[in-house]
Structure 1
Amino acid sequence: MPRKRPGALRAHPEPARRWDTAPPVRIHGLSTSTSLAIQRYEHLDRSYYVFPGATDRALRRYRQFLSPVGTRPRYPRALHCTCRGCSFDDVRHARDVLEEVLSVLPPRPRAELSRLLRPMDAAYLRRTLPDPFVEHLWPAPWWYDRLGGRWECGS
């Protein structure tokens, strides 16, 4: 059986395993490589609203908002508290986080995440009503042009 020369063994030592970091967690509905790319971005980003696990939380919140089966319209809840945890009560903020992550991912993970979001966005448009009197102080994305309510209702 051939064996490696001693110089070859010393040339490329294996990196030491860090036991203080948790292994990457796979995000439901995405491949392992895309989940890893998202988690790398979450750990490196210095944004207040993008933190480790924020993308998974935003996807779960978006799915949860669209999950009640039926034809009645849904009204996104207005944001009352701007802290990191409470801000996900507003599904529009969850979609903001997903859009921010989508804009910085490499091409393949971006394509996979956008394929996952496309039917959810279509369901959001189908299940919410347009707001004819919407006025924004900033250029807002399309998901803010829907009628919102004080409480999430319509299920």
Structure 2
Amino acid sequence: MPRSRPGALRAHLPVHPGWGPTPPFRIHGLSTRASRAVHRAELLGNSHWLHPGATEWALRRYREFLHPPGNRPLYPQAAFCSCTWCSFDDVRHARDVLEEALAQLPARARAELGRILKPLDAAFLRRTLPDPFAHRLQWRTEFWWYRRLSESSEWG
């Protein structure tokens, strides 16, 4: 019996196994390898906040918040809708998603995303003001970005 050609054997395999019909997008600022690791973590992770496309959206939102030029203080706004995409109106939620992504990523991709976040976090600290009443908040005080002044309080 003649041997099958390698191309004939591979013809029945999917083009990108595990990714569906197209490969994942590349996140701006990350390498292709790290972008694929992020996409894999979003697909296979068991987090409520981490879903396909959430890390890229959160990184874009975080950069957008810090983009206005000048030295005037910035105040994060609370999101009024808690649905998946509207909650990104609150930049602190975007930072939550990025923190969750860091926790889910392998070491190399985590380091690469961390290198992107380090100057953004420094700009966030520089452009926002500390909240003197942060110790009174009832939730999420363990994250430093919730201990900054915002336009609305936890109680409305």
TM-score by length of 1: 0.84
**What is the root-mean-square deviation in Å for CA atoms of aligned residues?**
2.2
Kept in 1, the 8 Å contact 2:45–2:104? The answer is no
C-alpha distance in 2 between matches for 1:49 and 1:22: 23
Stretches of structure 2 lacking an aligned partner (at least 5 in a row): none
The 5 A counterparts of 1:41-60 are 41-60=41-60
Q: Secondary structure at the match of 2:80?
A: coil
* Alignment of 1:77 onto 2:74: no
The equivalent of 1:17 in structure 2 is: 14
* Alignment of 1:104 onto 2:101: no
Percent sequence identity over aligned pairs: 56
Q: Secondary structure at the match of 2:34?
A: helix
The 5 A counterparts of 1:25-44 are 25-44=25-44
Q: CA deviation at 1:75?
A: 0.1
Q: Secondary structure at the match of 2:48?
A: coil
Q: CA deviation at 1:81?
A: 1.5
Q: CA deviation at 1:18?
A: 4.9
* Alignment of 1:137 onto 2:116: no
**Aligned match of 1:146 in 145, 148, 151?**
148
The 5 A counterparts of 1:90-101 are 90-101=90-101
Q: Secondary structure at the match of 2:21?
A: coil
The equivalent of 1:89 in structure 2 is: 89
Give every structure 1 segment of 4 or more consecutive aligned residues whose post-TM-superposition deviation is greater than 3 Å: 6-9
TM-score by length of 2: 0.84
The equivalent of 1:153 in structure 2 is: none
C-alpha distance in 2 between matches for 1:110 and 1:126: 24
C-alpha distance in 2 between matches for 1:21 and 1:68: 38
For residues 31-86 of structure 1, the C-alpha deviation after alignment (integer angstroms, 9 at most, x for no partner) is 00000000001111233321100000000000000000100000000122211011
Kept in 2, the 8 Å contact 1:48–1:84? The answer is no
